[in-house]
Amino acid sequence: MNVHVKFLRLPNKILIFSLKGVIPGTAILLQALSTDLFEKATPQLTMKSLYSLARGNPVSALTTLAVLGLINTSGFAADKKLVVGFSQVGAESGWRTANTDSIKSEAAKRGIDLRFSDAQQKEENQIKAIRSFIAQGVDVIAFSPVVETGFEPVLQEAKKAGIPVVLSDRAVKVSDPSLYKCFLGSDFIEEGKRAGNEAIKLTDGKAGIAELVGTVGSAPAIDRAKGFREVIADHPDMKIILSQSGDFTRAKGKEVMEAFLKSPEAKQITLLFAHNDDMALGAIQAMEEAGIKPGQDIKIVSIDGVRGAFEAMKDGKLNVTVECNPLLGPQLFDIIEKVSKGESVPARVVTQEGVYEQAQAAEELPKRQY
């Protein structure tokens, strides 16, 4: 039997080759797979071809699989780049920019082929991006979901295609937990609780609270609100009198705070709880333009721990920021590399974070990486 093997670089270590002189049917399949038309074939297309062959000639299919298993591909695998599709929420804040930079720089450092897509805070864009990654036959899909719900159908498509999924920063709600391998990110409920405890300390347990909520339906907005409310529930004089979404952006945070300050309840506001620093920074601008001293007339507690928040604390304009670490790149790609090799990973990985008050700002500011 004369055998000719042609090595091609394909996703997921699939070896495509031509083989002559074997059982009829197998040779046809293998020769077809070795052509330029299949130079960019995905593992899913290859397995579909084998499935079709098996229906017509089971012996041929078994022979093909046997040959595939017998050929040593160690040199081939070492030369192949890991291909990762990543869909980012957008660029709505300083936190998100730092998160994107961390992911891109870590991928470059490891020599990973990163297919990056910016969803511009739209769920439909993210779903399109994930479907595109599936069509490209990437090795792993990772994404930070815009909102919690609506992703189950596309995640089922990824699972059917044999492409593992990793969630970064934010979670999704699905009926089948096997649709993703791991969720890496902060404990948003705990962040909300920490913010609540700091608010109680700042006001001695008595405050009229205005709340700037994150993107409606997003995991951090839902969970931070929940954690905050759980803590202040034991303090009847801590009352949320105004609550509205600022969509995690500085501009929207300013706009909503302006509306709060013009509302009939404006004079009752003694504390602002912002779901992220960018909205708090926008609110600070609105307060100053209205002749209000932020951090004094109205105490401010926010979440993220970005450099801008530390600068505001140093200036006495913001009282507390609860850290939410955006530098997830190294941890994320540790998980992705394990998943790509079929290794087990925890279903949940929580990042370690702290709480920073005004008195710590001057010392901590030079240390901030984002």
Task: For residues 263 and 224, give the distance between their C-alpha atoms in angstroms, rounded to a whole number.
Answer: 24
What mean pLDDT do residues 86-90 have? 97
128 burial level (CB within 10 Å; 0-12, 13-18, 19+): middle
pLDDT at 341 over 50: yes
pLDDT tens for each residue of 133-187? 999 999 999 999 999 999 999 999 999 999 999 999 999 999 999 999 999 999 9
- Per-residue confidence (pLDDT) for residue 108, from 0 to 100: 98
E-assigned strand segments in 103-193: 113-118, 140-143, 165-168, 182-185
- Per-residue confidence (pLDDT) for residue 67, from 0 to 100: 42
pLDDT tens for each residue of 300-327? 999 999 999 999 999 999 999 999 999 9
Backbone φ, ψ for residue 155 (5° rounding): -70, -30
CA distances to 111, 190, 242 from 233, rounded to whole Å, are: 49, 15, 16
**What residue ranges define each of the domains in the chain, with the CATH number in brackets?**
11-78 (no CATH), 81-186+327-353 (3.40.50.2300), 188-324 (3.40.50.2300)
State the Cα angle at 178 between 172 and 184, rounded to 5°.
50
For strands 320-323 and 355-357, give the pairing. antiparallel
pLDDT tens for each residue of 90-136? 998 889 999 999 999 999 999 999 999 999 999 999 999 999 999 99
Predicted confidence band of residue 56 (pLDDT cuts 50, 70, 90): low
Question: What's the farthest any 2 CA atoms get from each other in the chain?
Answer: 90
pTM value is: 0.74
